[in-house]
């Protein structure tokens, strides 16, 4: 039934858009009690994300998710969920008891959205009491993609591990420097081969080492 709902909504969104090859919907969760799916094209009410549980169905727009940039709109739709990590989990939050079921989302720029599954409302990350645990789970979700057969998944892993400063995965990221997944970028008469997984790994390694240097500097200042 849940899959049917996803298909119906996707067909409606596609029929309202003018994209010839729209991005496929992104299913973040689909189990016995929770369905979370994102769409490249908003519906007529500007909604791009559906969260459905046995208690409530919520539709959220980019603005409601705290995502304001619409610069990456193509003929295939918005790229808001490309290279993103999203999952359903539980957290401890201020003024709540005992725990909340949430949908956690981090886009490729590191912007985070935490949605209360019961209310469909955003929770500020600063109100989450076990944020360190949440970051560790995000790192685990990203690290699981390092050995994926899909180059896009390996790229995603590098992006998020770099953002989170996951220095324990530097050896695996270093291996990705030999990754040969590529596409050809054409600008006028100039062609360039873009090794996108390798480039993501390079940026991740640089980011992690920069964070390590900054942490050492802060630690030294505190002596």
> Model confidence over 50-73: pLDDT tens digits?
999 988 999 999 889 988 755 567
In this prediction, residue 7 carries a pLDDT of 46
Q: Which residues contact 202 (CB under 8 A, 6 or more apart)?
A: 177
| Angle, CA 65 vertex, CA 60 and CA 71 arms, to 5° | 105
Instruction: Give tens-digit pLDDT for 185-216.
Output: 998 889 999 999 999 999 999 999 999 988 88
Is 161 in contact with 174 (CB distance < 8 Å)?
no
Question: pLDDT class for 43, splitting at 50, 70, 90?
Answer: confident
pLDDT at 77 over 90: no
Q: Which two tokens stand for residue 168?
A: 């324990």
pLDDT of residue 11: 45
pLDDT at 41: 86
Cβ partners under 8 Å of residue 52, min gap 6 = 2, 5, 34, 35, 36, 58
Asked whether the predicted pLDDT for residue 158 surpasses 60, the reply is: yes
* Contact in structure between 159 and 204 (CB atoms under 8 Å): yes
Axis crossing angle, helix 151-163 with helix 131-143, rounded to the nearest 10: 150
Helix-helix angle 151-163:196-221, to 10 degrees: 10
What is the model's pLDDT at position 86? 95
pLDDT at 79: 86
Q: How sure is the predictor about 217, in pLDDT bands with cuts at 50, 70 and 90?
A: confident
What's residue 72's pLDDT?
66
pLDDT at 71: 55
The band of 139, judged by pLDDT with boundaries at 50, 70 and 90, is very high
Range with the largest mean pLDDT of 77-86, 108-117, 141-150: 141-150
Q: Exposed, middle or buried by CB within 10 Å (0-12, 13-18, 19+), for 31?
A: exposed
Q: Which residue has the higher pLDDT, 67 or 2?
A: 67
Q: How far apart are CA 193 and CA 185, in angstroms?
A: 6
Reported pTM: 0.81
| pLDDT (average), residues 84-94 | 92
Q: With 0-12 CB in 10 A as exposed, 13-18 as middle and 19+ as buried, what is 1?
A: exposed
Q: pLDDT for 10-40, tens place per residue?
A: 444 444 444 457 888 999 999 888 999 999 8
Say what percent of the chain tops pLDDT 70. Answer: 86
The rounded mean pLDDT for the chain is 86
Q: Is the pLDDT of residue 82 over 80?
A: yes
């Amino acid at each position: 039934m849940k899959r049917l709902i996803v298909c119906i909504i996707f067909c409606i969104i596609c029929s309202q858009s003018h994209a010839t090859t729209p991005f496929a919907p992104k299913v973040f969760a689909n189990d016995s009690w929770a369905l979370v799916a994102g769409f490249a094209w908003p519906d007529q009410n500007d909604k791009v994300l559906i969260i459905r549980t046995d208690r409530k169905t919520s539709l959220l727009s980019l603005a409601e998710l705290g995502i304001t940039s619409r610069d990456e709109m193509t003929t295939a739709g918005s790229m808001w969920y490309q290279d993103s990590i999203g999952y359903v989990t539980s957290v401890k939050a201020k003024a709540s008891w005992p725990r909340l079921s949430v949908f956690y989302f981090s886009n490729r720029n590191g912007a985070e959205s935490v949605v209360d599954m019961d209310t469909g409302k955003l929770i500020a990350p600063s109100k989450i009491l076990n944020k360190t645990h949440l970051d560790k789970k995000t790192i685990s979700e990203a690290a699981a993609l390092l050995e994926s057969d899909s180059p896009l998944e390996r790229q995603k892993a590098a992006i998020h591990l770099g953002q989170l400063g996951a220095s324990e995965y530097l050896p695996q990221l270093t291996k990705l420097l030999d990754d040969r997944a590529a596409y050809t970028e054409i600008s006028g008469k100039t062609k360039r081969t873009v090794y996108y997984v390798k480039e993501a790994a390079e940026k991740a390694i640089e980011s992690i080492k920069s964070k390590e240097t900054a942490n050492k500097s802060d630690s030294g200042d505190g002596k």
